[in-house]
Structure 1
Amino acid sequence: MDRTGHGPDGEDVHVGVDTARAARWAGRASLAANIGIVVTGGAVRLTGSGLGCPTWPRCTDEGFTPHGSLSYHSAIEFGNRMLTFVLVAVAVVTVVAAWRTGRRDLRVLSVVLALGIPLQAVIGGITVLTDLNPWIVSLHLLLSLAMIGLSVRFLQVLDRPVPAERGPTVVLAWATFAAAWIVLYLGTVVTGSGPHAGDAQAPRNGLDPLQLSQLHADAVFLLVGLSVAMLVMRPARAAWALVGVEIGQGAVGFVQYFTGLPEVLVGLHVLGAALTSAAVTWLLLSVRHPPSAG
């Protein structure tokens, strides 16, 4: 039994049910793995283990693995580096599954996701070699958030390969997407000015955390307003999901700010950033590519 859809150029594409199912599972694995690496990367920073392996690509000058007595920080940092191999395995499976569908759009997305892994490794190496420069650390996180969005796009394109719509609702969806990324970026800048640097000797960006937090909060208010408007215009599951994530993020952000940024809450906020990227991408794509009438 085959499933018929439309490719990016309007051509009919016949994809076997088993092939589509394999691609869907690969896309879900890619999404989960990229969210996981964001959470574990946050754990490295919040435990002060960012320089547990003080060099790159080796862990120490002696080798690729920690030598001597394995410290708490080196174990955490080295363990996070090893998760790269999980990402590589998932990326290979995703590329193979995409290739089997015969669809060019899925193949391109899978290759872009795969290329993001060595790019992340290089940025991670620069992060270590610059002693956790906060601007490089933020770039490291933002790339992971972008890869989460691409994983959602892979799943959405697989399930809904139809031409894009236009109109005011799509414009609002794009505005919501842009506001979400402004919020995510400002969140990384706020983090770069705060206490959780990843290492006691790591530099901070030198900006005022109070002023940055206010700017971040203003952007959040804009995002919530756009999301509520989106919910009114298109009350679909994606819009509800985004608003739900924002409520959770707002609650965690509010509490962590007034309780001195405890590590557990900051870690939950990092997870919320990953979920925000996924949810806002889902919203945008569900509006641009709504379910076909057939």
Structure 2
Amino acid sequence: MKPSVRFPVSPTLLRRLAYASIIANVAIVVTGGAVRLTASGLGCPTWPRCTDESYHTTPEMGVHGMIEFGNRLLTFAVGVIALAVLLAVLAQRPRPRGLLPLAIAVFLGIPAQAVIGGITVLTDLNPWVVGLHFLASMAVIAAAYALWRRTVEPDGPAMPTVPAPLRTLALLTTVVSATVLVVGTWVTGSGPHAGDKGAARNGLDPESISQVHADGVFLLIGLSVALVFAFRAVGATRAARAAAVLVAVELGQGLIGFVQYFTHLPGALVAAHMLGSCLVLLATLAMLWSTRERRPVAPENRPSPAAEPVPAAV
């Protein structure tokens, strides 16, 4: 039997690919917003084809068809990066624990997100499905972030860096952050940017649901500020720094939100707010991860060289 050949991937390359996956998934959220803000949501009126006869746009469909089809093509680019990450993880020797499930989750999340995007088209941009499409992208970004963090951490046990009550507070802040994102999709679904002139709205009162969203933002900022002082009080410098970054991102996002509301939702600010949503999510996850750290396995606890697999000869 011919011996197998291994193609190991350097940890540096894997980290860069994982980081690129985060950037790509954030980019597709922003470009997806551009599709909606330019009223190009039905530029390709069906799915998975762009028209009943063609998988690609036609000149007759104009700029809206080009924008929508371009966003669909970007999905393939994001999928290629996710596939590259998965292959790199499979080739990793030794492979950190938990890395493969995360790589699979990110890779499978791309087609799942695309299918939900297709359903938005088939339902004529139903606002609840559009919101689910956005939240699916947020879930993929979260998985991509977890994957990237796993590539930069040593392969050892995760140890808490703050007391248990503060870890609970950090988790509560993360839940509130996720809730703010969900309510934000309800605000969007009640507003004017439907993605197409004929698309329905969710029927919620824009002013009332915007107030609920704003209340959630105030709660989130309050919790985040409390975390900054609490982490500093226990000497958790890294966690305090991460919480401070989260507060800064939240304040910036909140400022954009208020300005866009009082200026009647100009497209440029809405796009910036969508990017800000991704940054709030990433900053929240960074804060949560800062409450624990992985420490290298002590030499005496590592497998002896004789117990490790020997690469097959070519």
Matched, 1:224 2:228: no
Q: Output the CA distance in 2 between the equivalents of 1:79 and 1:30.
A: 19
Report the secondary structure of 1:196's partner residue. coil
The runs of 5 or more residues in structure 2 that have no matched partner are 1-7, 232-236, 299-314
- Any idea what SS the aligned residue of 1:48 has? coil
Task: Give the TM-score, by structure 1 length.
Answer: 0.90
Question: Could you list the runs of 5+ residues in structure 1 that have no partner in the other structure?
Answer: 1-15
Matching residue's letter, 1:136: V
Contact kept, 8 Å, 2:110 with 2:140, in 1: the verdict is no
CA distance, structure 2, for counterparts of residue 32 and residue 202 of structure 1: 30
Measure the CA separation in 2 of the matches of 1:242 and 1:292.
Answer: 28
C-alpha displacement of 1:19:
1.8
The CA deviation string for residues 170-207 of structure 1, in whole angstroms up to 9 with x for no partner, is: 11110110010010000000000000000000000001
Pick from 94, 101, 106 the counterpart of residue 108 of structure 1. Answer: 101
The residue matched to 2:60 in structure 1 has which SS?
coil
SS of 1:62 mapped into structure 2: coil
| Percent pairwise identity | 50
Is the contact made by 2:41 and 2:196 (CA closer than 8 Å) also made in structure 1? yes
Q: CA deviation at 1:267?
A: 0.5
- Which residue of 2 is the match for residue 185 of structure 1? 182
1:31 is matched with 22
* Per-residue Cα deviation, 1:34-65 (whole angstroms, up to 9, x for no partner): 00000000000001000000000000112101
Q: Which residue of 1 aligns with 2:36?
A: 45
Distance (Å, rounded) in 2 between the aligned partners of 1:94 and 1:164: 27
1:260-279 deviations in whole A, cap 9, x for unaligned? 10000010000000111111
Provide the aligned C-alpha RMSD in A. 1.7
What letter corresponds to residue 82 of structure 2 in structure 1? A
Map residues 245-284 of structure 1 onto 2, 5 A cutoff. 245-284=249-288
Partner of 1:157: 150
Q: Does 1:170 align with 2:167?
A: yes
Pick the structure with greater CA Rg: 2
Question: How many residues are aligned here?
Answer: 278
Is contact 2:58–2:65 with CA below 8 Å preserved after alignment?
no
> Against the structure 1 CA distance between its residues 105 and 290, is the aligned structure 2 distance closer, same or farther, given a 3 Å change threshold?
closer
Distance 1:262 1:105 in 2: 43
From 213, 219, 223, the equivalent of 2:210 is 213
1:56 corresponds to: 47
Q: Which residue of 1 aligns with 2:3?
A: none
- Please say if residues 159 and 295 of structure 2, whose CA atoms lie closer than 8 Å, have aligned partners that are also in contact: no
Deviation at 1:146, TM superposition (A): 1.2
Verify the 8 A CA contact 2:43 2:61 in the aligned structure 1. Answer: no
* Aligned ranges 1:92-131 → 2 under 5 Å: 92-101=83-92, 102-131=95-124
SS in 1 for 2:264: coil
Distance apart, 1:289 and its partner CA: 2.9
Aligned mates of 1:46, 1:68 — CA distance in 2: 21
Residue from 218, 238, 244 that aligns with 2:242: 238
Q: Match for 1:155: what amino acid?
A: W
**Is the contact made by 2:89 and 2:99 (CA closer than 8 Å) also made in structure 1?**
yes
SS at match of 2:196: coil
Q: Are the aligned partners of 1:189 and 1:212 in contact in 2 as well (CA < 8 Å)?
A: yes
Separation in 2 of the partners of 1:118 and 1:75?
A: 21
Contact 2:36-2:194 within 8 A present in 1 as well: yes
Residue 57 of structure 1 aligns with an amino acid whose one-letter code is P
Aligned counterparts of 2:55 and 2:44: Cα–Cα separation in 1: 9
Q: Secondary structure at the match of 1:71?
A: helix
Q: Distance in 2 between matches of 1:272 and 1:83?
A: 20
CA distance in 1, matches of 2:217, 2:193: 21
Aligned: 1:136 with 2:133? no
TM alignment of 1:192-203, pairs within 5 A? 192-203=189-200
* CA distance in structure 2 between the partners assigned to 1:226 and 1:291 by the alignment: 28
Q: Which amino acid aligns with 2:142?
A: G
Q: How big is each residue's C-alpha offset from its partner over 1:93-122, in whole Å with a ceiling of 9 and x where there is no partner?
A: 110121222234111100000000111111
Residue 289 of structure 1 is aligned with which of 286, 293, 309?
A: 293
TM-score w.r.t. the length of structure 2 is 0.85
